[in-house]
Amino acid sequence: MTIHTLLNNLNIQEPFYSISTGLNEQVGQGEKIVISSPADGKTIGEVRLAEASDYNAVIVKAKEAFPIWRTLTAPQRGEIVRQYGEELRKEKENLGKLVSYEMGKSLQEGYGEVQEMIDICDFAVGLSRQLYGLQIHSERPNHRMFEQWHPLGIVGIISAFNFPVAVWSWNTALAWVCGNVCVWKPSEKTPFSAIACQEIFKRVLERNDLPEGVSNIIIGDSSIGNLMASDTNISLVSATGSTRMGKSVAETVAKRLGKTILELGGNNAMIVTEHADLTQAIPAIVFGAVGTAGQRCTSTRRLLVHESQYETLKEKLVDAYRQIRIGNPLDENNHVGPLIDTDAVTNYQNTIKTAQEQGGYICVGGQVLEGAMYQSGCYVEPTIIEAHSAMEIVKHETFAPILYLMKYQTLEDAISLQNDVPQGLSSAIFTLNMREAETFLSATGSDCGIANVNIGTSGAEIGGAFGGEKETGGGRESGSDAWKGYMRRQTCTVNYGTELPLAQGIKFNL
Ligand code: UN1
CB 456 within 8 A of CB 284: yes
Q: Which residues pair with 150 in a beta bridge?
A: 488
User: pLDDT confidence of 8, banded at 50, 70, 90?
Assistant: low
Look at residue 240 and give its three-state secondary structure.
strand
Distance 12 CA to ligand 1 centre (A): 27
Taking a C-beta distance cutoff of 8 angstroms, is the pair 296, 458 a contact?
A: yes
Bridge partners for 488 per DSSP = 150
Ligand 1 centre from 296 Cα, in Å? 6
What is the value of pTM for the model shown? 0.95
| C-alpha closest to that of 383 among 415, 430, 351, 419 | 351
ipTM: 0.97
Q: Is 193 in the pocket of ligand 1 (CB under 6 A)?
A: no
Place 30 in a pLDDT band, splitting at 50, 70 and 90. confident
pLDDT tens for 100-128 read 999 999 999 999 999 999 999 999 999 99
Cβ–Cβ under 8 Å, residues 162 and 296: yes
Q: What is the model's pLDDT at position 10?
A: 58
pLDDT of 20 strictly over 60: no
Angstrom distance (rounded) from CA 147 to CA 491 = 5
pLDDT tens string 310-360: 999 999 999 999 999 999 999 999 999 999 999 999 999 999 999 999 999
Q: What is the pLDDT of residues 356-399, one digit of tens each?
A: 999 999 999 999 999 999 999 999 999 999 999 999 999 999 99
CA pair distance 472, 450, nearest whole angstrom: 11
Which SS3 state, helix, strand or coil, does residue 334 take? Answer: coil
Residue with CA closest to ligand 1 atom 1: 297
Residue 462 vs residues 5, 18, 105, 127, 277: alpha-carbon distances, Å: 31, 29, 19, 13, 27
Reading phi first (left if > 0) and then psi (alpha if -120 to 50, else beta), residue 508 is in: beta
Instruction: Map 358-410 to HEC letters.
Output: CCCEEEECCCECCCHHHCCCCCECCEEEECCCCCHHHHCCCCCCEEEEEEECC
In angstroms, the CA 414 to CA 32 distance is 49
In tens, the pLDDT along 133-182 reads 999 999 999 999 999 999 999 999 999 999 999 999 999 999 999 999 99
Please tell me the distance from the alpha carbon of residue 300 to that of residue 456, in angstroms, as a whole number: 8
296 lines ligand 1 (CB under 6 A): yes
Which residue lies with its CA nearest to atom 7 of ligand 1?
459
For residue 255, what pLDDT band results from cuts at 50, 70 and 90? very high
How far apart CA 272 and CA 309 sit, in angstroms, is 8
For range 406-413, the mean pLDDT: 98
Average pLDDT over residues 244-252: 97
Do 306 and 273 contact (CB within 8 A), yes or no?
yes
Distance in Å, CA 298 to ligand 1 centroid: 6
* Residue to mutate (ligand 1; options 114, 123, 163; most atoms within 8 A of CB): 163
Sign of CA dihedral 439, 441, 443, 447: positive
Q: Nearest CA to 215 among 75, 28, 52, 19?
A: 19
**Pick from 184, 190, 173: nearest CA to 62:** 184
Distance CA 190, CA 33 (A): 11
Mean pLDDT, all residues of the chain = 94
Q: Report the b/e string of 202-239 with b at 16+ CB within 10 A.
A: bebbeeeebbbbbbbbbbbeeebbebbbebeebbbbbb
Q: Is the pLDDT of residue 505 over 50?
A: yes
Kindly give the distance from the C-alpha atom of residue 30 to the centroid of ligand 1, in angstroms, as a whole number. 31
**Pocket perturbation via mutation, ligand 1, pick of 99, 466, 477 by most ligand atoms within 8 A of CB:** 466
The one-letter amino acid at 159: S
For residue 165 and ligand 1, the question of a CB distance below 6 A is answered with: no
User: Where is average pLDDT lowest: 19-33, 429-443, 461-475?
Assistant: 19-33
What mean pLDDT do residues 472-482 have? Answer: 98
What percentage of the chain exceeds 90 in pLDDT?
A: 91
CB 166 within 8 A of CB 474: no
Domains and CATH numbers, the chain: 3-264+473-491 (3.40.605.10), 268-465 (3.40.309.10)
3 state DSSP class of 104: coil
263 is catalytic: yes
Q: Is 472 in the pocket of ligand 1 (CB under 6 A)?
A: no
Instruction: Determine the length of the chain.
Output: 510
For 99: left if phi > 0, alpha if psi spans -120 to 50, otherwise beta; the answer is alpha
* Per-residue confidence band for 9, with pLDDT thresholds at 50, 70 and 90: low
Beta carbon of 171 within 6 Å of any ligand 1 atom:
no
